[in-house]
């Protein structure tokens, strides 16, 4: 990790500083235990080899004038400078949510005054109060730990209170189940009755397993009528921009999420029918009826439609819109499709993620397996 000190970088995994300087035409590297030691080493080398003396002096003097920020100030700077330039809007939004959840408790305290015990208490309280999974809290711990490492690299603080483990209790993770065939057919029947536009988008969801943020970002140029496929090239993300919560079209969740997904002739014809019936022609396949805020259909709109349709169909309340993606993964796996192909269809990061998160067996599958082998 780069620091503001010329020739000095910080290694958070080792907790050490590396001085790397060109000496006699070659790069020389020196490992130091603290920033002060690294600055002294760099200055002595610069003096010895007549390297950038004036620049080095200026940086050394500047280091003594820095003040320690509060948690709110520190996390904001860390996110804006280190995180926002390299992540999708949805990830950036998660960091902002983390900031809001914790800075309301410790936001006005300088980060070098927040002890490991204070962090332990806050993380434990939050897990208990909101019944959160251990993995969920660990993600927050990692974000704040990275923030401390950032400011250690800048020479503003010396220690990371989150280097010590945070103790959290293990919670029972309730995995979402997939739609059954009967539930799928019932849901689509009620979707068709509710609004043909939503019938089309949910039919596409059930037939491709693409993320809803990817489907809503589809543009007409992404519908390949010759090869009968949809091209996933972008995604909708949520986040706060200039103090306002909004939805923006951005990159897909991962590089592997850029893909082409084959669709049936019937599915292609349903998509093309939307263009004929469109209230107003736009670049987007799925739009809000009156385009009040966004040209594309918003994530909230499809979420509301899902809940209305599911309630009208009297489906299990535990079924969420994401369970449609589970349905596709489970259907493909139980049909014997190889993991590499399933991964490429759904845009999952790796086969292990696909198996651990989405491949849930159901009672019918277990019964069929036993009937086939043991009964």
Cα separation, 8 vs 39, in Å, equals 8
CA dist list (Å): 156 to 68, 93, 126, 148: 6, 26, 28, 9
Whether residue 92 has pLDDT greater than 50: yes
Q: What average pLDDT does the segment 79-86 reach? A: 88
Whether residue 48 has pLDDT greater than 80: no
- DSSP per position, 255-311: GGG-EEEE--HHHHHHHHHHHHH-SS--SBSS--SS-SS-SSPPHHHHHHHHHHHHH
Q: What average pLDDT does the segment 20-33 reach? A: 78
Cα separation, 303 vs 167, in Å, equals 35
Q: What's the pLDDT at 56? A: 46
Q: What's the pLDDT at 222? A: 96
Max avg pLDDT among 127-131, 190-194, 272-276, 340-344:
190-194
Torsions phi, psi of 150, nearest 5?
-60, -45
Q: What's the pLDDT at 23? A: 72
What is the DSSP-derived secondary structure letter of residue 225?
T
Q: What's the pLDDT at 106? A: 94
Confidence of residue 175 (pLDDT cuts 50, 70, 90): low
pLDDT tens, position by position, 124-153: 999 998 888 898 999 999 999 999 999 998
Whether residue 63 has pLDDT greater than 60: no
pLDDT tens, position by position, 222-269: 999 999 999 999 998 877 666 677 888 888 877 778 999 999 999 999
Q: What's the pLDDT at 243? A: 67
Q: What's the pLDDT at 162? A: 97
Out of 14-18, 39-43, 51-55, 261-265, least confident range: 51-55
Confidence of residue 163 (pLDDT cuts 50, 70, 90): very high
**What's the chain's average pLDDT?**
84
Q: What's the pLDDT at 368? A: 61
Out of 64-68, 155-159, 334-338, 344-348, least confident range: 64-68
- DSSP per position, 303-362: HHHHHHHHHHTT--TT--TTHHHHHHHHHHHHTT--HHHHHHHHT-S-HHHIIIII----
Confidence of residue 279 (pLDDT cuts 50, 70, 90): low
**By C-alpha distance, which of 232, 223, 211 is closest to 269?**
223
pTM beyond 0.75: the answer is no
Out of 42-46, 102-106, 116-120, least confident range: 42-46
Q: What's the pLDDT at 324? A: 94
**By C-alpha distance, which of 171, 374, 198, 148 is closest to 303?**
198
Segments in the chain forming alpha helices (H): 35-49, 53-62, 71-78, 89-106, 116-130, 134-153, 181-194, 196-208, 212-216, 265-277, 299-312, 323-334, 339-346, 351-353, 363-373
What is the DSSP-derived secondary structure letter of residue 10?
E
Q: What's the pLDDT at 84? A: 85
Q: What's the pLDDT at 295? A: 85
**By C-alpha distance, which of 206, 175, 177 is closest to 309?**
206
Q: What average pLDDT does the segment 314-325 reach? A: 92
3-state DSSP assignment of residue 166:
coil
Residue 12 structure tokens: 């958070």
């Amino acid at each position: 990790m780069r620091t503001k000190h010329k020739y000095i970088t910080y290694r958070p995994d080792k907790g050490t500083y590396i001085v790397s300087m060109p000496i006699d035409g070659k790069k020389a590297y020196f490992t130091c235990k603290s920033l002060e030691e690294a600055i002294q080493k760099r200055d002595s080398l610069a003096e010895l080899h007549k390297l950038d003396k004036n620049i080095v002096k200026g940086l050394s003097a500047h280091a003594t004038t820095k003040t320690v920020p509060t948690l709110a100030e520190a996390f904001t700077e860390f996110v804006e400078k280190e995180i926002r330039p390299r992540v999708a809007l949805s990830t950036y939004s998660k960091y902002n949510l983390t900031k809001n959840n914790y800075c309301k408790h410790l936001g006005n305290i300088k980060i070098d005054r927040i002890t490991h015990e204070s962090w332990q208490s806050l993380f434990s309280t939050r897990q208990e109060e909101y019944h959160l999974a251990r993995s969920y809290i660990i993600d927050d711990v990692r974000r704040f730990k990275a923030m401390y490492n950032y400011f250690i690299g800048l020479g503003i603080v010396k220690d990371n209170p989150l280097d010590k483990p945070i103790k959290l209790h293990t919670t029972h993770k309730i995995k979402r189940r997939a739609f059954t065939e009967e539930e799928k057919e019932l849901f689509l029947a009620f979707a068709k009755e509710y609004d043909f536009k939503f019938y089309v988008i949910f039919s596409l969801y059930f037939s491709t397993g693409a993320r809803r943020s990817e489907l809503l970002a589809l543009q007409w140029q992404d519908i390949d009528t010759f090869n009968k496929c949809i091209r996933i090239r972008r995604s909708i993300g949520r986040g706060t921009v200039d103090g306002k919560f909004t939805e923006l079209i951005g990159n897909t969740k991962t590089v592997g999420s850029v893909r082409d997904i084959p669709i049936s002739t019937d599915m292609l014809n349903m998509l093309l029918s939307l263009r004929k019936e469109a209230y107003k022609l736009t670049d987007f396949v799925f739009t809000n009826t009156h385009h009040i805020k966004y040209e594309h259909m918003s994530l909230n709109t499809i979420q509301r439609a899902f809940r209305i349709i599911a309630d009208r169909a009297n489906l299990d309340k535990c079924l969420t819109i994401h369970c449609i993606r589970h349905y596709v993964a489970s259907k493909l796996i139980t049909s014997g499709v190889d993991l590499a192909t399933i991964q490429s269809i759904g845009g999952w990061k790796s086969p292990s993620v696909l198996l651990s998160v989405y491949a849930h067996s159901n009672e019918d599958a277990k019964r069929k397996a036993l009937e086939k082998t043991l009964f």
